[in-house]
Chains A and B, each alone.
Chain A
Amino acid sequence: MITVRNLVKTIRHEVHTVEIIRDISFEIPDRQFAAIMGPSGSGKSTLLGLMAGLDWPTSGQIEIDGVDITRLNEDQMAMLRGRKLGFVFQAYHLVPTLTAIENVMLPMEMLGDERDGAFPRAEYLLTSVGLHDRSAHYPAQLSGGEQQRVALARAFMMKPSILFADEPTGNLDSKNGAHVLELLWELNRTEGTTLILVTHDEGLASRADRRIFLTDGRLAQ
């Protein structure tokens, strides 16, 4: 369960203070698929980043499974992200110096545990996204769709309870985008993950259990 209460985020830009998120409150139950929508500059990605513990709000609370993450320090927040959260970004953000399978193993290796279990899990996930035969390829040797499928496999490596996706099909053509989304639904279903997805795509949002519309940093719904 994710609970957002009276969330405010302002940033100081030289002499101006800009309010990006303005007093937002909502809840997302476990295993729900929530789509965050809104026009450009409405604060979608900022909200996603705050809920994912990538930044701290100016005020308000964000609880994940009953823990107020706004009170965590940087190390605790990193630990939370590593153990409970998964990420898929529009720009894939694969590490170019690592092969596909090394990219998928990265989250588990980064935390320094279950090393022996990393390889079979990564192989299983790469097989799930149809890239088992591409495991030794570097990102530069993969197409955009393939890179995003590797990023998907990586996002599920730590069996996260919540997956945050920021425009995951934004850089893909419709065919590859649809393929990636199908894989996302499938993995989300088999892994039992809560999915929070930022998108402009109405069709995609229509499949969500819950839609959160933002306008000028406020909830429109």
Chain B
Amino acid sequence: MTFNSNKLRFALTMSLRETRAAAGKFAFLVLAIAIGTGALTAVTGFNASVRYTLTREARSLMAADISVRLPLRPPQSDLDTLKALEAEGIETTRVTETVSMASVQNHVPVLISVKGADLAHYPFYGTLDLDPPKTQLGADTVAVSDDLLLRLGIKVGDSIRVGQKEFRVAARVVSEPDRMTTGFTLGPRVLFTREGLASTGIVTDISRVTERVLLKLPESHNLSVLRARLESTYGKRAGITDYTETNPALTRALDRSTRFLSMVSLIALIVGGLGVGATMQSHLRQKMTNIAFMKCIGGRSEHILYIYLAQAIWLGILGSVLGAVFGAFAQAMFARLVANYFDVNVTLIWPLMAMLQGIVAGLATTALFSLPPLLAIRSIRPASLLQKTFTGESTTVRDRASLIAAAVAITGLWGIAVWVSGSSAMRASLPEA
């Protein structure tokens, strides 16, 4: 089969002329593909943006270069070992976290996430934002998150009881840099100074507390060497992470969510593809006499098929590109959603790979769902123009072509699903930056 540039130009020109006359019908097709592609791009693009943010803001998200997590109240020797590092110019500070109850008069106590930190040093990176700004907490004051104010029906300046002591709420916690990396928290935040936390009496030898020691290295120190030293000292007693890991638990959860949402988006795309197939089928049914006439005046099935294939492809490209651009912007919705749960501002980037993936998936879906109706062009016979005197379509060809088209479509969709889910899985297995 030969196909010169004139015929390609003719196919494109005819496809444009065909679309020009039925813009409304094809606007639906473009929209169907754009929605599916947009959803897919938004999900995978947001994953890329979060990863970019985690990499760029790694130190801030940990508030340190290295974090040594000691799950139980540590023996003094462990703390002394860390303290000894200060002689090498390494700064350290302790952050104690636990769970307790906060109460006010005439109100049911509320479960809270307690954090006690030395606010003269914490955080080493990033900023702890309080409202009013620059509030100095003391042994009798705390800063609390908005949700605690709401749940206890109090305001800044009121007092809450934690453990055996009353504390005045001096400020609201607007954001804390390592909130995202401290893992699951059970209630609203209440931030104490270390002295304040000690005075509550809730931290005892039998308390379930998490002790983190944050380390800030001078530039002369090698991060990996120090980390190896700490690991050999503490073995499995401590969870040691450094900022280059960007929180593996978080990225794993992110990838699992991305894979699930990608599959949901793919289903949206496939539903859009069904719309594409139905639109093309109805379009071609209306075009049967035109197609028969084109065959009558010398058009071969392949050449006519190229017209409608070109139409499906460029409408698919239009829908996919629109969807990919829409998806890139739609990430902002995810960012807003996540901002409600984590104190991190996700830096949204142009997720070029996610957009490319969305475009390829959208275009492939369009092509696959257009294929069965397009192949039916082969069975339209020019003799049908001469009314009822001729035998109709060649059912053998149509059936065989339909089977092939169905097989190609199913295989193609399976391939797209594997590709979309596989690419997320592959990212999950990549070493962190």
Contact = CB atoms under 8 A, between A and B. Distances in A.
B385 A89 contact: yes
B430 interface: no
Contacts of B382: 54, 81
A98 B17 contact: yes
B383 A112 contact: no
A145 interface: no
B4 A11 contact: no
Interface centre among A83, A95, A111 (most CB of B within 10 A): A95
B6 A43 contact: no
Interface string A34-68: 00000000010110110010110000000000000
B interface, over-half SS: helix
Contacts, number: 88
Interface in A56-113: 74-75, 78-79, 81-83, 87, 89, 91, 93, 95-98, 102, 106-107, 109-113
A11 B391 CA distance: 7
B120 interface: no
B296 A112 contact: no
Nearest to B291: A95
B294 interface: yes
Given A97-B20, A112-B10, A79 B298 contact: yes
A75 B300 CA distance: 7
Given A93-B385, A97-B17, A110-B10, A49 B390 contact: yes
A82 B299 contact: yes
A15 to B, nearest CB: 15
A81 B297 contact: yes
Nearest to A21: B389
Contact of B18 (A11, A43, A97, A109): A97
Contact of B17 (A20, A74, A78, A102): A102
B296 A81 contact: yes
A78 B21 contact: no
Interface in B374-433: 381-383, 385-387, 389-391
A96 B297 CA distance: 16
Contacts of B390: 11, 46, 49, 54-55
Interface string B106-129: 000000000000000000000000
B7 interface: yes
A189 interface: no
Contact of A78 (B7, B18, B290, B300): B300
A194 B33 CA distance: 51
A75 B290 CA distance: 18
Given A46-B386, A46-B389, A166-B386, A97 B22 contact: yes
A207 interface: no
Contact of B293 (A11, A20, A93): A93
B233 interface: no
A115 interface: yes
A interface, over-half SS: mixed
B297 A48 contact: no
A111 B18 CA distance: 18
Interface string B278-301: 000000000001100111111110
A91 B384 CA distance: 12
A110 B4 contact: no
A112 B300 CA distance: 12
Interface string A10-47: 01100000001000000000000000000000010110
Interface residues of A, number: 38
Contacts of A43: 389
Contacts of A111: 298
A45 B6 contact: no
Nearest to A98: B17
Interface string B2-39: 00101101100110011011100000000000000000
B297 A110 contact: yes
B299 A78 contact: yes
A78 B295 contact: yes
Contacts of B295: 78
Nearest to A90: B387
B293 A95 contact: yes
A91 B6 CA distance: 30
A110 B383 contact: no
Given A20-B389, A46-B390, A89-B385, A110 B21 contact: no
B17 A45 contact: no
Contacts of B290: 93, 95-96
A139 to B, nearest CB: 10
A43 B386 CA distance: 11
B303 interface: yes
B303 A110 contact: yes
Contacts of A158: 297
Given A49-B383, A109-B13, A112-B10, A82 B389 contact: no
Given A46-B390, A54-B382, A55-B383, A109 B298 contact: no
18 contacts: A43-B389, A45-B389, A49-B389, A54-B381, A54-B390, A55-B391, A74-B300, A81-B298, A83-B298, A87-B296, A89-B385, A95-B290, A96-B290, A109-B10, A110-B297, A111-B298, A112-B6, A115-B6
Given A54-B385, A55-B381, A87-B293, 17 more contacts: A11-B391, A45-B387, A48-B386, A54-B383, A54-B390, A74-B300, A78-B300, A81-B296, A81-B382, A82-B297, A87-B296, A89-B385, A93-B290, A93-B385, A97-B22, A110-B297, A111-B298
Nearest 6 CB-CB pairs, A to B?
A82-B298, A97-B21, A112-B6, A112-B7, A54-B383, A55-B383
